Amino acid sequence: MVEKTSYTADNIQILEGLEAVRKRPAMYIGDIGIRGYHHLVYEAVDNAIDEALAGHCNNIQVTLNENGSVTVEDDGRGIPVGIHKKYNKSAVEVVMTILHAGGKFDKDTYQVSGGLHGVGISVANALSTWLEVEVKREGKKYFQRYEIGKPLEDLKEVDKTEETGTRVTFLPDHEVFTHKGFEFEILATRLKELAYLNKGVKVSIQDLKTNRKDDYHFPEGLKRFVSDLNSSKNPFHDVIEIEKKQDSIEVSIGLQYNTTYNDNVFSFVNTINTIEGGTHLVGFQTALLRSISNYIKKNNNDKISLTGEDTREGLTAVISVKVPEPQFEGQTKTKLGNSEVKGLVGAIVYEKLNTYFEENPANAKLIITKISDAAKAREAARKARELTRRKSALESGSLPGKLADCQERDPSKCEVYLVEGDSAAGTAIGARDRKVQAILPLWGKMLNVEKARVDKVFGNDKLQPVILALGCSIGDEFNVEKLRYHRIVIMADADVDGHHIATLLLTFFYRYMKELVVRGHIYIAMPPLFKITKGKQVNYVYNDKEYDELIKELGKDGINVQRYKGLGEMNADQLWETTLDPENRYMKKVNIEDAAAADKMFSVLMGEEVEPRREFIMRHAKEAELDV
């Protein structure tokens, strides 16, 4: 039973004002596109999660309303309603209008907090056309409305109630955002993740326009999270659970090995996805290697020298720590820096794993066999890597022969196009800006790395040129500082075969050069499907929907339509104008908004298990565009 501490206006602390939010919104929410738009909801949800972390909230409901607004409601204690001494206004108004104001800075109110930057609900208020807040506490219901972040009236009592909690409804300001409308799937993915990470808390989302509703409630927490992540991967033992609280830090870990060749380890701090890892991840990996190495020494006659990479082959794990004062660093400010966490996590994992191996010798033997095979494959990969180096040295320095390199040597200014087929590559070479754009032709069937070990990847003649051209290697030798091009563009035909090749390449980057995806170096070119000419007017169209709208607009008389079945059908001028010219081209940047969801998608699409893939295709069949 969590001791109920008091939560009043005196607990609300002020760090700074709110003036700059509307002037520079991207500084506070990342961007003003689809990501920042949904981030507003996360700010409201984070407040509810903080109440859950403190033991005062069991239910969180997110509702997408018919008028485009969103409602976030919880059954926590409710935002304090008393008058704040410094500002002489209600604590609700202080929280809603002043940046960095809230109870999460007072450790008597919240031991741990899920807000990464602490900018809070005030940012959502500042960037919304209107916001309404309803608070239920101390037997009363209170209400206040804001427009563009400014209160229309003081907080007022509107009813009596025995319930407690906070309900916030807001409509993002479409004069600020380039995106419009909340997407159910984006919000549902994050809410489901929060339900896994906060076992016992019920999180629900509903869309009143479509009547779709999902409820997430996982009393088993990370055990269920790992089990679901592995649902398409053929695991061969039960999920190992590790839970312990020590020195005000809570450590929760779930891990399970499967028959694949890639590791999928996800780490969280106070429910924040630490995509760059940190001290908690290092502590886990160190203890895993130490525990397994010691077990092999005690129980096996084989003399095997292991690396950390060997012990993670086929591993799916989720590491969640709750830290009172997290220190974040790294490129995206999602890398934990607290030095004390490393040793604490390491000690807990080492102790619990040793116990599990001793109590479950049959499972331990299966795991050790898997890891021993991985070590042997690593040695084979080392030999293949050496062979690749010798071969490349004999050919042309260290670059593949078919690469048409660029003249610039500053990687931050360079981009390389990975182009399907010699014909399209030849056109691209003639069309490019040779100063900063390199072209690497790809041909033949690409290896599906989801079904292959690292030694097969290094020995594959289709992937070797890509590894050599990028210069940063893969696996344990990966070094992002040696990357030769900061923009890597996958350019394939806009048909089924092209999509398949793009997916194979994305799987390769995600599994073997994941940091390139995390850092935003990977792009997908979007060549047009049609060229529509009427008189002197020329339009390039990128999908069937755009095509239908432009016919309607231009009329059918006197128009000439050219459909591109492949990149090779374009001449150099057209390819430059539509796909290579930085001023006009259209391309998608690949990022990992949710690494767990991305991992599951690649496993389903590219893995060995047929049934999950069939279910995925059937479920999304209506969303697919048929290319006839």
CB 541 within 8 A of CB 547: yes
Helix/strand/coil for 358: helix
- Across the strands, what pairs with 530? 541, 563
Decide if 155 contacts 175 (C-beta within 8 A): no
Q: Which of 428, 503, 510, 515 is nearest to 472 (CA)?
A: 515
**How many Å apart are CA 312 and CA 438, to the nearest integer?**
35
pLDDT at site 345: 95
3-class secondary-structure state, position 528: coil
- Residue 420 annotated among the catalytic residues of the structure: yes
Nearest to 208 by CA among 376, 58, 65, 382: 65
pLDDT at 109: 52
Q: Of these residues, 16, 154, 379, 495, which one is catalytic?
A: 495
What are the average pLDDT values for consecutive 10-residue runs of the chain, which has 628 residues? 59 57 76 87 89 88 96 93 87 84 52 54 90 94 93 92 94 90 92 92 95 94 94 91 92 94 90 89 96 88 80 94 86 80 95 95 93 85 65 52 89 93 86 93 76 74 86 83 93 76 84 86 86 80 73 72 77 87 85 62 58 52 35
| 497 in active site | yes
φ and ψ of 361, to 5 deg? -65, -30
pLDDT per residue as tens digits for the range 333-366: 678 998 999 999 999 999 999 999 999 999 999 9
Cα 227 from chain centre: 19
N-terminal to C-terminal alpha carbon distance within the chain:
62
In this structure, what are the phi and psi dihedrals at residue 572, rounded to the nearest 5 degrees? Answer: -60, -40
Closest CA to 87 of 14, 149, 157, 147: 14
The pLDDT value given to residue 539: 80
Nearest one of 371, 349, 356 to 283, comparing CA atoms = 349
pLDDT of residue 622: 40
DSSP secondary structure code for residue 580 in this structure? I
SS3 for 531? Answer: strand
Q: Which residue has the tokens 């990022």?
A: 591
User: Which residues fall within 8 angstroms of residue 432, CB to CB, at 6 or more apart?
Assistant: 404, 417, 438, 439, 576, 580
- Return the structure tokens found at 443: 């041909």
Helix and strand totals (H; E) in the chain = 19, 26
Catalytic residue among 75, 263, 493, 599: 493
Residue identified by tokens 């690949």 is: 590
Within 460-556, strands assigned E span: 487-491, 522-525, 530-534, 537-541
Which is the catalytic residue, given 420, 450, 577, 599? 420
pLDDT at res. 610: 54
Strands (E), 402-557: 415-420, 437-442, 487-491, 522-525, 530-534, 537-541
Contact status, residue 50 vs residue 114, Cβ threshold 8 Å: yes
Q: What is d(CA 284, CA 296) in angstroms, rounded to the nearest whole number?
A: 18
The per-residue pLDDT for 609 is 58
pLDDT at 1: 41
Whole-angstrom distance, CA of residue 308 vs CA of residue 440: 33
Residue 154 to residues 83, 85, 89, Cα–Cα distance (Å): 11, 16, 8
How many beta carbons lie within 10 A of that of residue 228, not counting itself? 15
pLDDT of residue 498: 76
Cα distance between residue 540 and residue 530, in whole Å:
6
Give the pLDDT of residue 621.
Answer: 43
The catalytic position among 497, 573, 615, 627 is 497
pLDDT value for 623:
39
Segments in 300-448 forming alpha helices (H):
308-311, 339-359, 361-396, 422-431
Pull the structure tokens for residue 588: 């998608």
Q: How many CB atoms lie within 10 A of CB 179?
A: 16
Bridge partners of 441, per DSSP, are 419
